[in-house]
Amino acid sequence: MKLLDILTSAWAIQPEKLQEIQAIYAAHFRGEKIDIEAIEARLSRPLANEQQEYELREGGVAVLAIDGVIAPKANLFTRVSGGASAQMLTKQVESAIADPRVRSMVLAIDSPGGSVFGTPELAAAIHELSSVKPIVAVSEGTMASAAYWFGSAANAVFVSGPTVQVGSIGVVATHDYSPRAPGALTTEITAGRYKRIASSTAPLSEEGKAYMQAQVDHIYSVFVDAVAEHRGVKADDVLEHMADGRVFIGRQAIEAGLVDGVSTVDATVEKLASNPSQFSKRRKAVFALGGLSVAGAGDATGHDSTETVLSAGDAPNHTPTEKEISMPDPTISRESLERDHAALFAQMRSEFITAGATAERERILGIEAHSMPGHEALIAALKADGKTNPDQAAAQVLAAEKGKLKTTAAALAADAPAPVPAAAEPVPAAKPQAGDIAARASAIVAEAKTAGREVSFAAAAAQAARELAAQ
C-alpha cells in the first residue's frame, strides 16, 4: 500500500492529529526530503522509532504500551507519526497470550487513533484471545477512535483519572490531498464507472462525494458493530450513547458506557497479579441515566483549507466548559453506588430482583414437591417463611408425618375395648370310687326288688357309675 493511499483513505483518528500528519507529508509530496530532526524540532517532541514489546511484570502480567498514531505496518510513516503498527501490535498480543509465563495482559493505551487498515484485525485478535487469558485496557492519556476500536475489545476498560480522553468513535476521509508543483498537469485515462470517481487530481463531483460518503458510512457501521459486540450492547445503544464522534473526558466516558471505571496501569497490574480471574469475564457497558454530567469535548478545530473532509459519526462543535470533575469515592456503599452510579445501581438491582425471584420460585416449587396429605398448613408456612429450602422442608414434613402416625396409634389404643378375660380351666370331675359304686348298686338292686323287678348287680353297678359321674 502506497503512502498516498493511506493518507487519502478512511481514518479513525482525532482530527487535529490527522492534520498534523498531513502537514508533515505535504512537504514529502512536493519532493522535499523529510528531515526527522527538523520535524522533531517543529513538534517539540521526539519521534517514536521503536516498536514496543510487552513487558512481563510480577504475577505474570504482560504490559504492552501502545502509544501514538496507529498505522498498518511499521515503516517511515509510523516513525514520523510517532505511532505504532497494528500488525506488530497484533503479533505482540498473540505472543503474550502464547507465553506460558503470562497469566494476564494489560494494554496501556495512549493513542489518538489512526488508520482503519489493520485496526479491525487487531481488535478481533484482542477480542478472541481475551477469552484465553484476561486482557484489560487502561488509558492514562488518550484512547480515541481506532485506539478505542481495539481497546474496547478487552474484557474491561479503565481510565486513570478525570482528564483522560476516550471515544471519538467516527470515520473521516480526505479528498484532494495531493500537493503538486505549480503548473503540473495530470491526465488520467480510466475504464469503469467508479474507477477514479474520486480522483485526487480533479475536483470532487457530487457523485464522487456520494461514493466516498458511502464508503465512510460503511466503515463507520463496521466500527459501531465492533464496539457493540465488544461492550455487550446493541448497535443502537452505541449510536445513541457513544458513537456520535464526541470525545468523552474522565467520568463522562464512564457514564457513556465506554469504560468500566477508574484504575491506573499499576493498580490494574496489581489486581491481575493477585487474582486474574476477576477479569476473565467480559464486562458489559452500563449507561448513566439522564445523560452526561458534563458536555463532552468534540472536534473544536475548524477546517480552513479547501480540502473536502467526509466523516461519519461527527458531533456538533462544542465550547469547552471549565468544570471540576470529582472522581468517585473509592469507598463504595449502597448510598454512594446509587448516587454516583445510578445506571449501574439500576442494572444491578434489576438483575438481583430477577435472580431473587427465580430462586424464590424454585424454592417454593421444591417445597411443594414434598407435600403430603394432612400437612398443607406446614407446607404453606414453609413457603411463606422465605428461608426454608426444599431439603429442609422434606425433613420437616417427614418428621411431622412420623409424629402424626405416632399420635394416631396412641389414639387407637385408647379407644379400643377392654380385652375379654380368659375362661377358667375346667376342673375335672372326681372319678367315682369303687366303694361308692358298689353301695349305690346295692341300693338300686334293693329298690328294684321292692318294686317287683329284678336287676342284676352288674347292671346296677353300671347305672350307679353313671349317676355318680354325672354329679
Place of cell 375379654: 420
- Inform me whether the pLDDT recorded for 381 exceeds 50: yes
Whole-model pTM: value is 0.56
Which of the four pLDDT bands, split at 50, 70 and 90, describes residue 327? very low
- In this prediction, residue 55 has a pLDDT band, given cuts at 50, 70 and 90, of very high
Query: Domain locations in the chain?
Result: 3-327, 351-412, 434-470
Q: Residue 444 and residue 459: Cα distance in Å, rounded?
A: 9
User: Where does the pLDDT of residue 324 fall: very low under 50, low under 70, confident under 90, or very high at 90 and above?
Assistant: very low
Range of weakest confidence among 88-92, 355-359, 425-429: 425-429
pLDDT tens for each residue of 261-293: 999 999 999 999 999 999 999 999 988 765 555
228-261: per-residue pLDDT in tens? 999 999 999 999 999 888 999 999 999 999 999 9
pLDDT tens-digit series, residues 183-210: 556 656 656 666 656 666 666 677 877 8
> Which residues, 6 or more positions from 39, have their beta carbon under 8 angstroms from its beta carbon?
24, 47, 80
- CATH number for the domain formed by residue range(s) 3-327: 3.90.226.10
If we measure between CA atoms, which residue out of 131, 120, 141 comes closest to residue 66?
141
> Residue 295 pLDDT more than 50?
no
DSSP β-bridge partners for residue 368? none
| Ranges 158-162, 301-305, 414-418: which has the least confidence | 301-305
3-state helix, strand, coil in the chain (%, to 5): 45, 15, 40
Which residues make beta-bridge pairs with 13? 113
